[in-house]
Amino acid sequence: MSRRSGILEFAVLGLLRESPMHGYELRKRLNTSLGIFRAFSYGTLYPCLKTLVASGWLIEEPGSAPEDAVAASLAGRRAKIVYRLTADGKEHFEELLSHTGPDTWEDEHFAARFAFFGQTEREVRMRVLEGRRSRLEERLEKMRASLVRTRERLDDYTLELQRHGMESVEREVRWLNELIESERAGRDQRPSPDAAQQDITGDTGGLPRHRGTTPPDPSEDIAK
């Protein structure tokens, strides 16, 4: 499995954990909620769905409205298929959520993981955030060293492009620092009994539950 297809499967499972959807709805959510999938097509999504069905993580069901199926039949079209997460699929997604290896720190995978932080346990969130910060700090050090070595050979525009890339990485590091501090502040607070009950399903620490929150676009890092 390629890294790109693995990220897509993770995102599909995460969205279907929220509710069953047909392919069009799922593609729309991937486009609007997870910006890293803006450019992908049905030709990418449906093989992914078939793979997840074959793995036993999803099942296909007919659309819920009988009149829709009748109308589709009369028009010679297929009725919409709804994809639903199975118990095995939910368990598999939860296993993926608990993963904190180096691949979760990379640009695209991190963006997908961050989109589902509301379903992720606090300790896992912290490890992913700290790993991402460490990865970007390493990248920033290399960019600065490269700029020092090549500064005299670069024209003004190329130099500005290099600086822009560094500023993008520096901005994300500051953003990560704020998130990590918010998580630590939430962890250090002693929860009330009611809050402890809510924490069972994975709380958001010191962060508000803004569904539209997304990390800085890694595509801005032009000078990797």
What gap in Å lies between CA 136 and CA 11, rounded to an integer? 23
Predicted local confidence at residue 78, as pLDDT: 61
Predicted local confidence at residue 202, as pLDDT: 45
Predicted local confidence at residue 110, as pLDDT: 92
Tens-place pLDDT, residues 92-113: 999 999 999 999 998 888 988 9
DSSP state of 39: T
Predicted local confidence at residue 77, as pLDDT: 57
Tens-place pLDDT, residues 15-24: 999 999 999 8
Predicted local confidence at residue 2, as pLDDT: 54
**Residue pair 84/18 in contact by the 8 Å Cβ criterion:** no
Cut 0.75: pTM above it: no
Cα-based distances in Å from 114 to 14, 41, 77, 132, 176: 11, 22, 38, 11, 11
Backbone angles phi, psi at 208, to 5 degrees: -75, 155
Predicted local confidence at residue 64, as pLDDT: 62
**Residue pair 120/97 in contact by the 8 Å Cβ criterion:** yes
Segment-wise mean pLDDT, segments of 10 residues, the chain, 224 residues: 75 94 89 70 85 96 62 56 96 94 89 91 96 96 91 88 94 96 76 42 46 51 43
Predicted local confidence at residue 222, as pLDDT: 41
